[in-house]
A = this chain, B = another copy of it.
Amino acid sequence: MSTQPPHNTLLIPGPIEFDDAVLQSMSHYAESHVAPGFVKVFGETLTLLRKLFQSTNPSAQPFLIAGSGTLGWDLVAANLIERGENALVLNTGYFGDSFGNCLTTYGAEVTHLRAPIGDRPAFEEIEAALKQKPYKLLTVTHVDTSTGVLNDIKRVAEVVRRVSPDTLVVVDGVCSVGSEEIAFDEWDLDAVVTASQKAIGCPPGLSIVYCSGRAIQRAQSRKTPPASYYASIANWLPIMQNYEACKPSYFATPPTQLVHALHTTLSQITSRPMSERFAIHTAASDKVKAAIAEIGLAQVAPKPECQAHGMTAMYLPDGLSPPDVLPGLLKRGVIFAAGLHKEIATKYIRFGHMGVSISDPSRNDIDKALSALKEALAEAKQAKGL
């Protein structure tokens, strides 16, 4: 039984429902950010992040900083590329546009390789684009929260290494880390940017960036200084190294409570093989997608290989928009998200199925949501005379 008060079940693509133990970690009493107890928890959390990314290469480096996931874009844009250098953005929607804007802010020359809504750039297109210019880095949104499109980052990295080996592979994993397989070392990735509040199952407020040795080296061999102070790899690197070595260190005060919560959820996640975690997310996703097809709804991402496993974006029947359906879901205790991609925002809704809602079957969240969806749709159609 949950110790949390009764509340509507949050099934948006992040933030997600919290495990009781994770939430309880948030009410830890006040501690000094440089006292041995907290330093140990912070250090262990960094080590747990290595496990989360299935990474054992000691030259890889986790960063854990107070901020939203968005801050990770600044860390990439201010450290891994310099003014006037080229960046290729594999653009699958809202978050590709925004990451591109962030890179432009720091002076990068951004080329967008745009896929149609619900699809992803083809590998041949990526290869052709990489051959046209020397790109310092490429960004790819692993799961686009706005559309539920999944990119195959393993194959993207293979293409980059074959065609343009010096181009850094930067993954926006805000909506994928913890629900989609990532083998950081094996796939030869350079940076994964994520946040605490999606499949990792921690409250929002932590920016997490995982960098390869190659990325760190790129940051350290810049011709110009880092273009940010708070998001500077040079400022944070010694701090992260010291914390992981259990030595107190100070650049800015870490969000102690959130670090405790992240420690708790990562301990839970990594206590079982990561492959098992990905398998349960895939199984739940298959179930959701089959049920949605049965209801007669089309996914925003129609191709199975382009569908995320931690969320589903679905078009509503013609004549219905999110405000027709979301209140009916809420009445049944379920919260889905409205559309986010500007061009289709009024036509679709988003269902997040990640974390404890999947891994704790006693919650029954998914079945409850599917029933609520069926009923709310029927009700909305009736109300509209459809």
Contact = CB atoms under 8 A, between A and B. Distances in A.
Contacts of A12: 32
> Which residue, A14, A70, A251, has most C-beta atoms of chain B within 10 A?
A70
A207 B207 CA distance: 14
Interface residues of A, number: 60
A229 B31 contact: no
A252 B197 CA distance: 12
Interface in A209-261: 225-232, 250-258
* Copies per assembly: 2
Interface stretch (A43-51, A100-108, A117-125, A155-163): A100-108
A229 B15 contact: no
Given A27-B24, A226-B105, A257 B203 contact: yes
Interface stretch (A61-69, A84-92, A130-138): A61-69
Interface string A58-78: 000000011111110110010
A251 B204 contact: no
A66 B66 CA distance: 6
A31 B10 contact: yes
B10 A77 contact: no
Contacts of A10: 30-32
A253 B197 contact: yes
Nearest to A198: B253
Contacts of A232: 105
A30 B5 contact: no
A271 interface: no
Contact of A255 (B73, B256, B258): B258
Given A66-B66, A68-B254, A105 B204 contact: no
Given A205-B205, A230-B231, A195 B253 contact: yes
A254 B101 contact: no
Interface string A282-313: 00000000000000000000000000000000
Contacts of A370: none
A338 B225 CA distance: 31
A18 interface: yes
A32 B10 CA distance: 7
Interface string A29-40: 111110100000
A190 B190 CA distance: 41
Nearest to A248: B338
A341 to B, nearest CB: 13
Nearest to A68: B252
A183 interface: no
A7 to B, nearest CB: 5
A335 B14 contact: no
A17 interface: yes
Nearest to A16: B30
Interface of A: 4-5, 7, 10, 12, 14-18, 23-24, 26-27, 29-33, 35, 65-71, 73-74, 77, 101-102, 105-106, 195, 197, 203-205, 207, 225-232, 250-258, 335, 337, 340
List the 4 closest pairs (A to B, CB-CB), nearest first.
A205-B255, A68-B252, A70-B252, A102-B229
